[in-house]
Structure 1
Amino acid sequence: MIRILFFILFVLCLGLGFAWLADRPGELSLIWQGQRIEMTLMRAASILISLFAAVLIVVWLIRTIWLSPHTVTRYFRARKRDRGYQALSTGLIAAGAGDANLARKMSARSRGLISADQEPLIHLLEAQTALIEGKYDDARKKFELMADDPETRELGLRGLFLEAKRLGAKEAARQYAERAAEKAPHLPWATLATLDHRSQAGQWDEAIRLLDQSRTANVLDRKEADRKKAVLLTARAMAKLDADPKAARDDGLAALKLDDSLVPAALVTAKALFREDNLRKGAGILERMWKQQPHPDVARLYVRARGGDSALDRLKRAKKLESLRSNNAVSLSAVAEAALEARELPLARTKAETAARLEPTESVFLLLADIEEADTGDEGRIRHWMAQALRSPRDPAWTADGVTSPSWLPVSPVSGRLDAFEWKAPALQLSDKLANGHPSADEAIRSLPPVATAEHVAEHATPKPAPPPATPAVLEAERETVIKVPERKEAAPSPAKKKEETAEEEPAPFFGRPPDDPGVREATAGEKASDKAGFRLF
């Protein structure tokens, strides 16, 4: 574009010069070897410019002829290079698609057309081809060559890191990741892998320092970096809680500043404050977390903040939590547990039943079973609540990579990933059929054999008479009994009478379904008299 502009400016200047000479005519006289040459000034300028252009054309022709061998050589070299890059591109596409034969063919062709020293992507193509063919040793050798080259060091280290992870060599993977993070701190995979390895080893200070370096290099966005740093600070606070509660408190408060929704940070901060006898500030942190996210661990720690409180005091604190988040299943369950400990059973039953209506989970029905045992001791109702707990969805728990933990952990024990645990319901529900063919809970309950009663035992214990022999008279009698007799239709009972009968038969309703085992029924006066008169099996 700049050359075109200069050419246009040159032509414009040339035209302006000729126009200026045309407006100012003149004569030019030249004596050369005794001859006098006269011409106009315009003709002299035209001859001069034409001579200059002819000289330039002659110089260009001579230069082109002189450099023609090099030009031809460069042309064929460029054509060969283009063919090599085309083969390299085709081979990389084939390797990405999983076509090992084509990738190997294009790798050999590109190596023959392009020098591997000039184009390091040939090593990558050969390594990828070896991985597709299952030649992992050859691929590892190629990655090692790439790791030694400064131009392809990061690519080779990443390949070696992935191979070490595939083989389960965690220590080798850690070394490759740390080497890559040291040479190129802007690589996200190296930073995250090194961060996970240091977190698994419990090196919280080194992990926080590495995370700060990655934030400076803009490897992670601000939100993700703040979350990971809050998790690391919480983990360090948990490690320092027993030895240094003050340092644990500072780390917990710093974690809450970065992420105020992190429940473990609030818990460890409150525990540190409680150990410093700062009950008010610790309770305030738990209350703020409770308003944002009601959590059973928060409720449990808040209710038992003081070790010397009575059951009534704990019930008051649970009621305060309920006032902060009313009409919440977790709040109602906390009040019900505290009321059960305080032996206020009607309140405990009311709150637990309300929580079960809001969120019918396993723990709520187990709590109702405990209340039933403490209140009435009715085995039938207790078994009913236990069966409801078996059929209900499981409670949320700290879950990571399919593994549940009773408490929060900063690192997953399966994958070693930082901040992997989430508070959610486990993926496997008891009401679903398992993949290995086990029946569900409802099917297992329905498949249980019926309970044997006294009537069943007496019926099976009494010997039945043997049937008579098949004689012509007996066959004729059986044939006559086959004749159908019209049934008599009884008069339909009145609605009032039917209502009275159903009222007498139906038991008094209570929350939930009727019990599976109604318990021991008291015998009537007639049954007692018959038991005294006759033989009793039980």
Structure 2
Amino acid sequence: MTRIVSFVVIVLLIAVGFAWLADRPGVLAITWQGQLIEMSLMVAATIVATLVAAIMLVWWMISTLWNSPHMARRYFRARKRDRGYQALSTGLIAAGAGNALLARKMTARTQGLLSADQEPLIHLLEAQADLIEGKYDAARRKFEAMANDPETRELGLRGLYIEARRQGAHEAALQYAEDAARNAPYLPWAAQATLESKCRSGEWDDAIRLLDQQKAAHVIERGEAERLKAVLLTAKAEEKFESDPKAARDDAKAALKLSKALVPAALVAAKSYLREDNLRKAAAVLEPVWRAEPHPQIAELYVRARSGDTAIDRLKRAERLESLKPNNIESLFAVAQAALAAQDFDKARAKAQAAARIAPRESIFLLLADIEEAESGDQGRIRHWMAQALRAPRDPAWVADGIVSEKWHPVSPVSGRLDAFEWKAPFGQLEGPVEDVSVDTALASLPDVAQPEIRERIIEIPVPVKTEPKPHIEPKADAKIEPMSEIKPVIEASKPKAPPAPAQSPQAVSPAKTEEPVPFFGGAPDDPGVKKAEGSPLVEPAKPVVPTSPGAKPSVQKTTAAEKEGEAVPFFGGLPDDPGVKKTSAATDGKTRLNLF
């Protein structure tokens, strides 16, 4: 474009010159060797211009003839070079596409057209072709040759670094990356690899120094560099927190200056102040971070900052957080938890439901189940909220490269990437079905509180009936006493370790009447299957028994009112009664019979 403009300008100047001469006519006279030559000024100017053009043309023809051999050689050399670069370009494209046959063919053609000393990319093409064909040793030798050449040193180190990582030689890969970063700190791959290695080994000071070099070389942007430095300072503070809390606090505060919303740094600084019982400064560290990014770990540390506080005091501190960040799910959830601990169930339920309306998740519905259990204990309502928790999205957690952790880490355990952990919901929740878990739907299907069941129990208490004792009648000396051993009751004979009762007269036994059985309350507990006779006396006064032989003392036998009236009396002092046997006492032939039914 510049040449065209220059040519147009020159032509215009010549035209303007001829026009100027045409406007000023004149005669030019030249006397040479006695001859007078006269011509107009315009003709003279035209002759001069023609002569100059002819001289230039002749000069160009002479120079072209003189330089033609060199021009021919240069032409063929350029043509060969162009063919070589074309083959090199085709070979690199084939190597990148994985076409080993074409890459090797283009390598041979490039070597025939170009010199390796003239074009270093030939070594790269050869190494790539060896890698495609599986000749790793040959490729490594090519990369080592490139690393020894100052012009291709960085390219060779990168090739050696990639091959070392592919073969699992992490120490060798780290060495190559450190060599590249030492000579060229502006290389992103070398600086990143060295930085990750320092972080995995816990060399935080070296990692911070290397990061500053990358920032000075403009490898990393300023904002990203400050964020990574804050992460490194936080990791350094967490490591020295137990041994030197004051130094850990200084590093954490320096990290907060670089990244104001870094939650782990705020937690370390606040814990350091709480170890010194400085609650005011700990709150001053946590509150700005809470305003920028509310986090449940900050809420837990803020609410439970003082171990001697009551549940009411903790509720007030949770309400303080809510005032700093109103209408936030983390604020509402913290107040709901504190209200539950303070037994303020109405406030806890209201805050939990408000948090569920903002973003329903598993922990909120579990908290509602805890509230129901603490207040009403209704299992139906508790199971309802737990069922909602099963369908709700999972709670946020620290996630990096598919790994879910309850604690923040500066480096990913999978890839070794710095600042990889993020506070978000795990990716596994996206695999489940999408269901309606809104709190309004859950409240609409919430069952009513079940009324407690009242069970009535009737307890019969026997009332003893007082009877007047009958007068004792002494037997006459001349009375004839008949033995009563034949009519000895079976019930008395079944008593273990009981002495045999003395014989008594037939008049002492009243005729038995088969009616409802009456339990005996003087021994073991009552049989629930036996109905007590209403108004029957427990024990009848003792009756004297006439001795069978002279000189024997009269014995006393206690007879119940049921026996007196002829009713069967269960015995609880011996073996258990057979429920299929009904005991009756009949005055038939003076013996007691057992009726089966």
TM-score category (smaller protein): 0.7 to 0.9
Contact preservation (8 Å) 2:401, 2:412:
yes
Q: Could you tell me how far 1:71 is from its partner in structure 2?
A: 2.7
Contact preservation (8 Å) 1:390, 1:441:
no
SS of 2:94's partner is helix
- Which residue is 1:76 aligned to? 76
Q: Distance in 2 between matches of 1:151 and 1:510?
A: 70
Q: Which stretch of the first structure deviates more once superposed, 224-233 or 168-177?
A: 168-177
Alignment of 1:125-524 (within 5 A): 125-429=125-429, 432=432, 511=443, 513-514=445-446, 522=453
Q: Could you tell me how far 1:396 is from its partner in structure 2?
A: 0.2
- Which residue is 1:458 aligned to? none
SS of 1:429's partner is helix
SS of 1:410's partner is coil
Q: Could you tell me how far 1:176 is from its partner in structure 2?
A: 1.7
Contact preservation (8 Å) 2:234, 2:252:
yes
- Which residue is 2:28 aligned to? 25
Q: Could you tell me how far 1:52 is from its partner in structure 2?
A: 8.2
Q: Which amino acid aligns with 2:196?
A: D
The structure-2 alpha-carbon separation of the partners of 1:3 and 1:321, relative to structure 1 and needing over 3 Å to count, comes to closer
Contact preservation (8 Å) 1:391, 1:430:
no
Q: Could you tell me how far 1:215 is from its partner in structure 2?
A: 1.4
The structure-2 alpha-carbon separation of the partners of 1:24 and 1:226, relative to structure 1 and needing over 3 Å to count, comes to farther
**How large is the Cα RMSD of the aligned pairs?**
3.9
Q: Distance in 2 between matches of 1:411 and 1:101?
A: 42
Contact preservation (8 Å) 2:256, 2:262:
yes
Q: Which amino acid aligns with 2:219?
A: V
Q: Which amino acid aligns with 2:215?
A: R
The structure-2 alpha-carbon separation of the partners of 1:7 and 1:370, relative to structure 1 and needing over 3 Å to count, comes to closer
State, as a whole percentage, how many aligned pairs show the same letter. Answer: 61
Q: Could you tell me how far 1:151 is from its partner in structure 2?
A: 1.2
The structure with more helix, counted as a fraction of residues: 1
The structure-2 alpha-carbon separation of the partners of 1:431 and 1:364, relative to structure 1 and needing over 3 Å to count, comes to farther
- Gaps spanning 5+ residues in structure 2: where? 458-527, 530-597
SS of 2:429's partner is coil
Q: Distance in 1 between matches of 2:149 and 2:330?
A: 59
- Which residue is 1:105 aligned to? 105
Q: Which amino acid aligns with 2:124?
A: L
Contact preservation (8 Å) 1:383, 1:515:
no
Contact preservation (8 Å) 1:123, 1:142:
yes
Contact preservation (8 Å) 2:270, 2:283:
yes
- Which residue is 1:502 aligned to? none
Q: Distance in 2 between matches of 1:37 and 1:215?
A: 86
Q: Distance in 2 between matches of 1:350 and 1:58?
A: 104
Contact preservation (8 Å) 2:388, 2:442:
no
Q: Which amino acid aligns with 2:396?
A: P
The structure-2 alpha-carbon separation of the partners of 1:343 and 1:107, relative to structure 1 and needing over 3 Å to count, comes to same
Q: Could you tell me how far 1:118 is from its partner in structure 2?
A: 0.8
Q: Which stretch of the first structure deviates more once superposed, 251-260 or 20-29?
A: 20-29
- Gaps spanning 5+ residues in structure 1: where? 31-35, 434-439, 443-508, 527-531, 534-538
Point out which structure has higher relative CO (alpha carbons under 8 A, 6+ apart). Answer: 1
Q: Could you tell me how far 1:9 is from its partner in structure 2?
A: 6.1
Contact preservation (8 Å) 1:127, 1:139:
yes
Q: Could you tell me how far 1:15 is from its partner in structure 2?
A: 10
Q: Which amino acid aligns with 2:348?
A: A
1:210-230 Cα distance to aligned partner (Å, 9 max, x none): 111111111112221121122
Contact preservation (8 Å) 1:299, 1:321:
yes
The structure-2 alpha-carbon separation of the partners of 1:90 and 1:311, relative to structure 1 and needing over 3 Å to count, comes to same
Q: Could you tell me how far 1:54 is from its partner in structure 2?
A: 7.3
SS of 2:360's partner is coil
The structure-2 alpha-carbon separation of the partners of 1:22 and 1:86, relative to structure 1 and needing over 3 Å to count, comes to farther
